[in-house]
Amino acid sequence: MKFSMTILGCKVNAYEAEAVASALVQQGFERVAEGEPADISVVFTCAVTNTASQKSRQMIRRGKRLNPSCIVAAAGCYTQISREMDEDAEIIIGTEFKQELPAYIEEYLRTGEKIRKISELKNTPFEAASADHFTTQTRAYLKIQDGCNQFCSYCIIPYARGRERSLDPESVLKEVRTLTENHTEIVLTGIHTGRYGKEYGVTMTEMIRRILEEETRLQRLRISSIEITEIDDDLIRLMKQDNRIARHLHIPLQSGCDRTLKAMNRPYTTAEYLQRIREIREAIPDISISADLIVGFPGETEEDYAETKEFLRTCEFSFLHVFPFSLRSGTRAEQMSGHLDVSVKKQRTAECIRISEELYDQYKKRWIGRTASVITERNTGGYATGHTSEYIPVKIKGEQERGILMDVRITGIIDHEVYAERV
């Protein structure tokens, strides 16, 4: 039987979905491309915003449109918190049971009876998963942490994924060894990756050090996202010592205004954030630092927004992921006063995206004439494409073997695209 896989949301979701896909293939199912008719449509949903929930519902229903007799299996954050989709899927799995999805699919094929497995997420253990390879890319994700204890006022994730928990160190090493067989780069992911290992008496930095010492075949290790409060001096020292750790940190900001940060329940001030990224850059001068930004938060005034824009330029980010505030039912922000008009949020989002493009071009221009380390990902139009350690996408003249780490010289930028030649 054929199955398709639709993956919405974050890198953690991507890892969990690929682990399920690997298990289904091992059980004899044939994977087809997303959007193709299939006997089974597996959808890993997202609930980070109401818009994400709406898209999750659309993707769940798409399987039936492509093949009316299709069996739809839905998992992920949206299925955990929603009770609105009972008729949309034959199998609905919450956060705690995602890796059992292949077994539930087999059960449904035997019995034809709908399956609903959703728990209350009390003392939820770390859900072990194993994705032996990611079929569409040279970069592999490895989930080492899950859950969140922070409860930002705009965020539903603590309710959808439960409390913080980690994969045990020996299992991390086992997964790294498996993924290194097929991938040049591994990305460590989690909801709060930097809080890894507390229940095992180990820090994320200590875990990274063990990975690098024990898996010498690994050519690049990347941290997907890390909070400013989770970047310790030990991590900075290790990054300086071992260039296999990618020279890029994605550090969520969310707002450049202290009043807004407080309303968001973020655990730092703008002064603390700025001080830390200056310390990072002092230790690793060429590092790329990017950030998430939410604009149009309830009560955000023109003055608050102006502070944010000024702070973005002060921080000199390499690029930004900009999101308009999107109401998420069940969060504290839902009850706040001062919700802004959609047109205001749209205008502020567009302006911050332009700032991001300006900052990114400035950062990329610093690399012209210099050598960078790139892992090739695919060939297209006479060029090999890949990302530098700093996460700059580049086009290398001439086709190259996929998944190769190589040095290139950055030759120029045309229409925001970076071009290079192999050294």
Q: What is the pLDDT of residues 173-230, one digit of tens each?
A: 999 999 999 899 999 999 999 999 999 999 999 999 999 999 999 999 999 999 999 9
Q: What is the pLDDT at residue 252?
A: 97
Q: What is the pTM of this model?
A: 0.88
Which of 56, 88, 117 represents a domain boundary (last residue)? 117
User: For the segment 96-130, what is each residue's pLDDT rounded down to a tens digit?
Assistant: 888 899 999 999 999 999 999 988 776 666 666 65
Last residue of a domain, one of 221, 246, 271: 246
Which residues does 315 contact at the CB level (< 8 Å), separation at least 6?
A: 253, 256, 273, 274, 277, 289, 291
The total of structural domains in the chain comes to 4
Residue 355 sits in the same domain as residue 381: no
> Are 278 and 329 in the same domain?
yes
Cα 194 to Cα 128, 145, 164, distances in angstroms: 19, 9, 11
Same domain (yes/no): 283, 199? no
Parent domain of 375: 371-422
Lowest mean pLDDT of 50-59, 255-264, 357-366, name the range.
50-59
**Measured between alpha carbons, how far is residue 335 from residues 12, 263, 271 in Å?**
29, 12, 28
Say if strands 2-7 and 30-32 run parallel, antiparallel, or are unpaired. parallel
Same domain for 204 and 254, yes or no, is: no
CATH of the domain at 110: 3.40.50.12160
